Structure 1
Amino acid sequence: MKTKIAILGLLFCILTSCENNKDYPNIKKANWVIGNWTNTSPQGKLVESWQKTNDSVYNGESFFIKEKDTLFGEYVKLIETNGKLTYIVTVSGQNNDKPVRFEMTSITDSQIVFENPEHDFPNKIVYNNISKDSLVAEVSGMRNGKPDLQKFKMVRQ
């Protein structure tokens, strides 16, 4: 009887340790976003910060600051589930402060593309890893019936 209990206990430990050691290959490819990034322009300063929450979740936040006023803020979760990354963004004052989901449509070691064709703007979000201290974030889609693309060249702080 003690042997059966020991075997069951060992089996339980093995199974639960396998569950906790899941591999998240796509979010690992995105680890270059982790850190603090800025884009300074005549219009103001965009600050974006990413942190690893756990093996399958990164949390991000961005703020656009002009002089001493924060004009824009958003909170992002990048989550890997079943091999797919989802970019979930909540923008202050937009979409009734409810999150909007963008699904990963492609990923390489230097680029991540997320899309949501149902969202008004943007429909597409792209992160490009230029170097260890430089990335370009792009948002694009239709705005007022015309294609719109905005690029943000970010520098690591």
Structure 2
Amino acid sequence: MKRVNFGFIVLLLLVSNSGVFAQKSPDKLFSFLLGSWEMPGTKGKIVEQWVRNTDQSLSGKSYRINDKGDSTLTESLVIKKINESVFYCSTVTGQNEGKEICFRLISTTNKTYVFENLNHDFPQQIVYQNQGKKQLLAWIEGMIKGQKRQSKFQYTRK
């Protein structure tokens, strides 16, 4: 009888913990993103900036700054709660007919946050890894023509 109770308790804990990140508001869960992040590129730098909104979501933007200092917006971002799930939604300049594409948060393990949309062509996953106050690693990954692809972005806080 004790074995059955222990198994039931483990099952109950697994089920209740699977939605823990859905219970927190995005502005608290992703507060480590707030501010400005930069990554050097071959022709300038990539900048990602995040702010907290009054509705407990976060808004971000990603842009490229060339060597002359000219900037080009590449992506508008939002992390928000829809029903009981948290989503990372992106509107990429010149893609998807200007429509927002959303990825559902599926994992929060070891300061690594995985968003997934298996119906999207590429990427199918967007991942952020909190590496402390000054470092942030992000990557996108998925399948293209049957081959797994991944692009990494190592940011430094500015």
Q: Please tell me the residue identity of whatever aligns with 1:47.
A: V
Q: Provide the secondary structure at the position in 1 that maps to 2:123.
A: coil
Please give the alpha-carbon distance, in whole angstroms, between the structure 1 residues aligned to 2:71 and 2:95. 15
Q: Provide the secondary structure at the position in 2 that maps to 1:39.
A: strand
Deviations 1:58-104 (A, max 9, x none): 00000123334546610011002344211110001000011001011
TM-score, L = length of structure 1: 0.77
* Structure 1 residue aligned with 2:13: none
Structure 1 unpaired stretches of 5+: 1-22
* Structure 2 residue aligned with 1:53: 53
Deviation for aligned residue 1:110 = 1.4
Deviations 1:91-129 (A, max 9, x none): 010000110010110124712110000101110000000
* Structure 1 residue aligned with 2:33: 33
What is the Cα-based RMSD across aligned positions, in Å? 2.0
Q: Please tell me the residue identity of whatever aligns with 2:129.
A: N
Deviation for aligned residue 1:33 = 0.6
From the two aligned structures, give the one with the greater strand fraction. 1
Q: Provide the secondary structure at the position in 1 that maps to 2:53.
A: strand
* Structure 1 residue aligned with 2:77: 76
Structure 2 unpaired stretches of 5+: 1-21
Is 1:129 aligned to residue 130 of structure 2? Answer: yes
Size of the alignment, in residue pairs?
A: 135
Q: Please tell me the residue identity of whatever aligns with 2:139.
A: E
Please give the alpha-carbon distance, in whole angstroms, between the structure 2 residues aligned to 1:46 and 1:144. 27
Please give the alpha-carbon distance, in whole angstroms, between the structure 2 residues aligned to 1:122 and 1:63. 18
Q: Please tell me the residue identity of whatever aligns with 1:127.
A: Y
TM-score, L = length of structure 2: 0.77
Q: Provide the secondary structure at the position in 1 that maps to 2:119.
A: coil
